[in-house]
Structure 1
């Protein structure tokens, strides 16, 4: 257990630290301003999302059990998780009597969940390769929900008329034609097709994923460290800690209870419930920082929420691991 925990925390800390160190070198001109770091970091993300992650997903879906109809409840529970977090964050905003710009930032921090880089990693480290496939099913409609629901709500709390509008018809077009989403769905379809075929998965896939999953998460975390703004934390510490009660207590208890109610605990020796527990207990996604910038919401509050809740994983992860062992 201790080595699994150290590896999980180590990947996050080292990735964030490396990103922050690169930012320091850039700001102090130790790294030349002529180097297009933004393009380099975007290229890194593209390499992971278009190159590494599809291989991981295809291999996981090729191997995992997909013979229970209740698996189709996973995407629904994923949407409910996002919705509940957003609604409860709006409730916190009412309690603290926040202004519209702050309320919008609280909403996206509550609704957006870091499933891609953190949740998938912890599912793999704690549960094995099957956790990757079920995590992908849980987040199947995550991006669609963000673009079609969360972005318009965030816009309603911010300034209108932004040219980079992400709501309405443009949101659907982005979802349909986004290469990252298309490649992800394609990898799932190919892996699922191979799963029901007569072709056996090559033995090298399991050790390959043992390297690719941690590497993918590490590379995804580096840009997050580069964009961190630690100065925002002190101003909004109270709000961020309150949000952590929503993200790490109320939402997981509610969603896991619903999962047990619909019989998910009976599938694959409770593996699905463990996946749901991990994924419903993740901090805000880095994409929660995008709507505040687009719609002139409170960027500092969004940053504080992301940093504080991500840091609390040091406390949350051992508790998660313990709960998984007793389920």
Structure 2
């Protein structure tokens, strides 16, 4: 319980620290450049160090005798893909501008698995649950760049269309290091090398630290100006993120037998990770393709605020509903 309370407390604390830093920077002459520098530095530390090291250690300890867990990347793919499909279907006949529809797609499609997902998984399930996260998010980078950006461009200006090939996506340093950590841990696992005893304690530090730094970087970039304007219309995004996607993907995981292995741990992991808020990366294509940036910011922020209700709901389900499915 203490780990759960500590980990969840990091979410508002990290965002608050980020907002505080932004308010301090606001008085500086070069505030925009300084803000971007601080944000990028924190993100680089997490994406090129803390996350890859934590993922490598997690996969290193993965019990590979349960071959059924190889279905996790498929379920991760389904969660991301179905989010975008639900958004496109919902907005098709709505009285929304194309830029607004594009932003709706982005906020629905992109999901915060790496920082918020890692923190919530660790808080609710500990390291046994965290070791499955890298497999669930295995295809995430390809989905985001190879699918998310091109689809978002269809709602914006074609002259900004992202034309990167799959090879160029894989050469991205953030993708390479993240995937490299996963495959290195997998290699050590397959070779039968024993994981050092200190790794469990190390992940006790790296997982909360990485999430906390990313939350600070998110807090620095948070904007509240348009939340009243779009508050009602973003309820559809919350419905997709927190009801339709978890229901669809968790049902698929149950049918595929995820509740019958490892004491139902994979089913719990899928349930949690398919219930995560929008990822901040959703703002990138919205900005790049001249979509409705205010709407994207509001939808993303609304999904983050909803965690106040969602996390206790996840805790309740894991303790009083999911056990009946195992």
Q: Does 1:299 align with 2:293?
A: yes
Q: How has the CA–CA distance of structure 1 residues 226 and 33 changed in structure 2, closer, same or farther, with 3 Å as cutoff?
A: closer
CA RMSD of aligned residues (A): 1.7
Q: Does 1:161 align with 2:155?
A: no
Match of 2:134 in 1: 136
Residue deviations 1:116-154 (CA, integer Å, cap 9, x gap) = 101111111211213223111111111101111111111
Match of 2:240 in 1: 246
- Using the TM superposition, give the Cα deviation of residue 14 of structure 1 relative to its aligned residue in structure 2, in angstroms: 1.2
Residue deviations 1:247-302 (CA, integer Å, cap 9, x gap) = 11111011100111111111111000100000100111000011110000000111
* Runs of 4+ that moved beyond 6 A: none
C-alpha distance in 1 between matches for 2:165 and 2:272:
28
Aligned residues: 321
C-alpha distance in 2 between matches for 1:179 and 1:252:
31
- Using the TM superposition, give the Cα deviation of residue 236 of structure 1 relative to its aligned residue in structure 2, in angstroms: 0.7
- Using the TM superposition, give the Cα deviation of residue 211 of structure 1 relative to its aligned residue in structure 2, in angstroms: 1.2
Match of 1:127 in 2: 125
Q: How has the CA–CA distance of structure 1 residues 262 and 25 changed in structure 2, closer, same or farther, with 3 Å as cutoff?
A: same
- Using the TM superposition, give the Cα deviation of residue 196 of structure 1 relative to its aligned residue in structure 2, in angstroms: 2.6
- Using the TM superposition, give the Cα deviation of residue 324 of structure 1 relative to its aligned residue in structure 2, in angstroms: 1.2
Residue deviations 1:26-79 (CA, integer Å, cap 9, x gap) = 2233x8649733123212211111111121111111112122222221111111
SS in 1 for 2:24: helix
C-alpha distance in 2 between matches for 1:34 and 1:19:
14
- Using the TM superposition, give the Cα deviation of residue 25 of structure 1 relative to its aligned residue in structure 2, in angstroms: 1.4
Contact kept? 2:35, 2:220, Cα under 8 Å: no
Contact kept? 2:62, 2:131, Cα under 8 Å: yes
Match of 2:269 in 1: 275
Contact kept? 1:147, 1:171, Cα under 8 Å: no
Residue deviations 1:179-211 (CA, integer Å, cap 9, x gap) = 111112221122112223332212111111111
Q: Does 1:316 align with 2:313?
A: no
Residue deviations 1:141-188 (CA, integer Å, cap 9, x gap) = 1110111111111100111202xx424xx1424321011111122211
Match of 1:39 in 2: 37
C-alpha distance in 2 between matches for 1:148 and 1:55:
25
Q: How has the CA–CA distance of structure 1 residues 74 and 5 changed in structure 2, closer, same or farther, with 3 Å as cutoff?
A: same
Q: Does 1:14 align with 2:10?
A: no
Match of 1:27 in 2: 26
TM-score by length of structure 2 reads 0.94
Contact kept? 2:258, 2:264, Cα under 8 Å: yes
TM-score by length of structure 1 reads 0.93
SS in 2 for 1:64: coil
Contact kept? 1:241, 1:309, Cα under 8 Å: no
SS in 1 for 2:107: helix
SS in 2 for 1:128: helix
C-alpha distance in 2 between matches for 1:251 and 1:292:
22
Which consecutive unaligned segments of at least 5 residues does structure 2 have? none
C-alpha distance in 1 between matches for 2:72 and 2:133:
9
